[in-house]
Amino acid sequence: MQREAMPVDVLFVGGGPACLAGAIHLMDLIAKHNERSADKIAEPMIAIIEKGSEIGSHALSGAVLDPKALDELIPKWREMDFPVERYVENEEMVLLTETRALKAPMMPPGLEDHGLPIVSIAKMQRWLAAIAESKGVMIFPGFAGSELLWSETDSDNGAGGPKARKVVGVRCGDKGIDAQGRRKDNYEPGMDLQAKVTILGEGPRGHLARQLIDQLGLDEGKQPQVYEIGVKEVLELPPGSVKRGEVTLTMGFPLDTQTFGGAFLYTMGGDKACIGMLVGLDARDPAIDAHYLLQKLKNHPYFRKKLAGGKVVRYGAKTVTVGGWGSIPKLYGDGAMIVGDAASFLNPMRIKGIHLSMKSGMLAAEAAFTALVRGDSSAAVLAEYAHKVENSWIKTEMEPAKNFHASFENGLSGGLTRVGLGLVFGPGDEIVPFHADYEQMRKQASVHGTSGYPKRDDLVYDGTYLLDKLTDVYLSGTKHDEHQPTHLIIADTEICATRCAEEYGNPCTRFCPAQVYNMIDNDATGRKEMRVDFANCVHCKTCDIRDPYQIIQWVPPEGGQGPEYGIL
């Protein structure tokens, strides 16, 4: 069967805020250029591929939106049908102990959200996608980019060395392959999208972005990319109980002082509210389980009162890139650029990345436009993107928070002191180094002694308000055809059964928020072995990031599969 190829001018990978904003801005730039110039860009072919079954199905965020980038992209959004859940009218920061809640007298500087819109990121993305399509952008949901297409270029990047390799598009994953790698009746080779410029905006731990970064050494001299896992539920509350836009941020319980993270509660439209926890994937404790911590959080008297009568209706999990300014890789190579969370455009102090991702997409679009006009998509031309980031409000916002992650590497109290001092005296010139997440996990015995992971018998799962993991996975709507190769590849499962079991107690059985990894008894061998229930996967990539041996690799499954978040 012939592999189809489709030539496009600019290909965006990922239907998130970064690429949607980039595609809209590019269309606007082309339209303006065509009005003014005789040398028109005729029938521009601008495409977005998205691995979810539709735009927004894999989208999960807070989300309180800083509308800075949206104001620039679509200045009249307030007069349009932009989907705002509520505007923030009341906000509070609360320190939780096991039984008490201590409200801070004011919001810490930089964390104020008063007046900002609370959005469902999925609804916002669908709104942006409709605008992009109305301007002529082709959107292909259900298409997962599986590898970069490369060619040799004439350029040696001025170094006189070997010729550079140029990205010339993306190959999408094949469909209809069975678990043994054989072609099924519905086999369809993945399409090649051949692009003059490829823009990678796959979100945290982007699969193609990593290929680009690794192949071209774009992270040389940069801080490692580090992450938090965000787990989130939407609750339906009793009719009439949600009256205004409220944001609550909490610190402390149920996290220990060595584990970085916090929680949020936002009210949404109708009678809905969302509650979520963010937990650093550099947590020392191998037994950390963000889903369990979220249930503990909801069981706290403070949230029991706030969410009284609530029923969980949706669940999801996604990672957030929190390395900040120092972790941003070189943003371009020949033929390609990286935007959004995939390139670390998130302010870790505010846990806000939508506006920064959108702006990065727009600046990459400006460089792509220059490339189209000049007929040259070499790295030398695409460097315009990095130059524009350096001179934009992205830098003004992100650079002062550059040492936020490093401040908390050794615990909460020291971190708060360092951040406080930074706010008073400035962040300093130096970027303080920090470690990759997987290097930070401590061995089981050093955290829990010889008795193994602590028991978790303190919660009663009622199936409505407190949910066990598998019930929540069901509410993520995630689905994968089980007759396909696993998209979670463990390089050596013998390590799971031996070294990892002894040293770390198989932490993936805890840290995966979708219970993909299970150690089960094998009666034939008489020992425990790893079973990977990849059909449960919600594409958060925690396993790929946190596994202490770095032997788990997440690759995109067949396009159109995975979670169906819809309203998260």
Print the binding letters for residues 473-502 with ligand FAD: x by CB under 6 A, - otherwise. Answer: ------------------------------
Distance CA 225, CA 434 (A): 10
Strand runs labelled E in 367-498: 488-490
The least CB distance from residue 376 to ligand FAD, in Å, is: 26
Q: Residue 25, interface with ligand FAD (CB under 6 A)? A: no
Ramachandran bin of 270, using left for φ above 0, alpha for ψ from -120 to 50, beta for the remaining angles: left
Q: Which of 8, 10, 11, 13 binds ligand FAD (CB under 6 A)?
A: 13
C-alpha dihedral sign at 242, 243, 245, 246: negative
Q: Residue 427, interface with ligand FAD (CB under 6 A)? A: no
Give yes or no for a contact between 11 and 167, defined as CB atoms under 8 angstroms apart.
no
Minimum CB distance to ligand FAD smaller for 113 or for 384: 113
C-alpha dihedral sign at 240, 277, 398, 368: negative
DSSP letter string over 100-145?
-EEE-SSPPTT---TTPEEE-HHHHHHHHHHHHHHTT-EEEET--E
Minimum CB distance to ligand FAD smaller for 232 or for 291: 232
Identify the residue whose tokens are 């993909």: 516
Binding segment (CB under 6 A) for ligand FAD, from list 62-70, 77-85, 233-241, 519-527: 62-70
Binding segment (CB under 6 A) for ligand FAD, from list 154-162, 180-188, 350-358, 541-549: 350-358
Q: Residue 252, interface with ligand FAD (CB under 6 A)? A: no
The least CB distance from residue 239 to ligand FAD, in Å, is: 26
Q: Residue 175, interface with ligand FAD (CB under 6 A)? A: no
Cα–Cα distances (Å) from 196 to 163, 337, 362, 467, 526, in that order, read 18, 12, 17, 48, 56
Q: Residue 352, interface with ligand FAD (CB under 6 A)? A: yes
Minimum CB distance to ligand FAD smaller for 132 or for 501: 132
Minimum CB distance to ligand FAD smaller for 192 or for 503: 192
Q: Residue 61, interface with ligand FAD (CB under 6 A)? A: yes
Tell which residue, 358, 277, 382, has the closest CA to residue 320. Answer: 277
Minimum CB distance to ligand FAD smaller for 121 or for 447: 121
Tell which residue, 254, 242, 344, has the closest CA to residue 291. Answer: 254
Print the binding letters for residues 191-230 with ligand FAD: x by CB under 6 A, - otherwise. Answer: ----------xxx--xxx---------------------x
Q: Which of 52, 262, 324, 507 binds ligand FAD (CB under 6 A)?
A: 52
The two three-digit tokens of residue 349, written as one number: 């102090």
Q: What is the largest CA-CA distance in the chain?
A: 76
Minimum CB distance to ligand FAD smaller for 15 or for 326: 15
Binding segment (CB under 6 A) for ligand FAD, from list 27-35, 101-109, 335-343, 477-485: 335-343
Cα–Cα distances (Å) from 208 to 147, 170, 342, 424, 486, in that order, read 6, 9, 9, 40, 18
402: which residues sit within 8 A by CB, 6+ positions away? 324, 325, 326, 427, 431
The least CB distance from residue 559 to ligand FAD, in Å, is: 7
Query: Total binding residues for ligand FAD by CB under 6 A?
Result: 45
Cis? peptide before 254, omega within 30° of 0: yes
Q: Residue 532, interface with ligand FAD (CB under 6 A)? A: no
Residues near ligand FAD (CB under 6 A) are 13-19, 49-52, 58-65, 121, 144-145, 201-203, 206-208, 230, 232, 276, 278, 318, 320, 340-342, 346, 351-355, 357, 556
